[in-house]
Structure 1
């Protein structure tokens, strides 16, 4: 597909399917949902995640989910601009991503915000688009002590009417209305 060629209906459907996979990935990683994450990758997919991992994607997911379940703090992945270049049943996809995470250092909470890009090779197999190979590029990072004030006190996270994040199946991702 040339970069300035008009989209065909098949291109548009492929792009929407690919964006759905990317959104499902963000949802799965933030909820530490291994089954949902694995649904984004082909069984033989490869994952290259910076200096932390390079190898088969499904074992990477198993390790990441185990680590996330031990961390009692929130994490959020935001999918931004996505560029898809489709060539038949293969697509090369660049996606900007912002990741927020809270970790503890010396017993104190720290917030980290990272900007990067996902470079994915998607393949359509059996009628489904999934990630066949992923490489991560890290563009920038900002770490700072946590200073959570909930909009200077406008919101009260202890109020039972507040819907707060969770990985335990009580999150609105799973309970809905």
Structure 2
């Protein structure tokens, strides 16, 4: 049900959107503190058959796995639909496109997944965070990795070629 925006709801929408973007950055960079800032301590995460339970242990394990294994991963945020239920609860559907590279039987595979997150956000003491997240998987495409960096146009050994890394070594954590 659509409601007229007020200054309060516009600020809430921005806070919720910022939280969703922090999640994408946090998971891709393996930044545990950033991930934990997106969820309430008592939040629940339902991530398909991979996990169903308290969010904090899931987030800590995921961040550790990202830092240890250094997988290539990017979450792209698409449509975000926010419906408020009172002044301190919002139901949010977020479209997510995820690229990841995983090894299987000694070979690297690229996987592209279209999914959505269905979140219940709660505002506590003025701050919006995820209280409950349930992932919905819409489609997936897996293929053997084939990385030639624009058919060789980019030299990954060149000193000006900045490659993505995990936190805190990634360029996004540097200031100056």
Post-superposition CA distance 1:93-134 (Å, at most 9, x none): 000001111011111111001000000000000110000000
Which of 70, 75, 79 aligns to 1:81? It is 79
Matches within 5 A, 1:1-177: 2-3=1-2, 5-87=3-85, 88-177=87-176
TM superposition score normalised by structure 2: 0.95
Q: Is the 8 A contact 2:111 2:140 kept in 1?
A: yes
Post-superposition CA distance 1:32-67 (Å, at most 9, x none): 111110000011000000000011100011121222
Distance change (3 Å), C-alpha of 1:142 and 1:163: same
Q: Is the 8 A contact 1:38 1:58 kept in 2?
A: yes
Aligned-residue Cα RMSD (Å) equals 1.1
After TM superposition, give the deviation of residue 69 of structure 1 in Å.
2.4
Q: What residue ranges of structure 2 are gaps of 5+ in the alignment?
A: none
Distance (whole Å) between structure 2 residues aligned to residue 122 and residue 72 of structure 1: 30
Moved over 3 A (4+): none
After TM superposition, give the deviation of residue 168 of structure 1 in Å.
4.6
Distance (whole Å) between structure 2 residues aligned to residue 132 and residue 109 of structure 1: 35
User: How many residue pairs are counted as aligned between the two chains?
Assistant: 175
After TM superposition, give the deviation of residue 91 of structure 1 in Å.
0.3
Distance change (3 Å), C-alpha of 1:176 and 1:145: farther
Higher mean C-alpha deviation, range 24-33 or range 66-75: 66-75
TM superposition score normalised by structure 1: 0.95
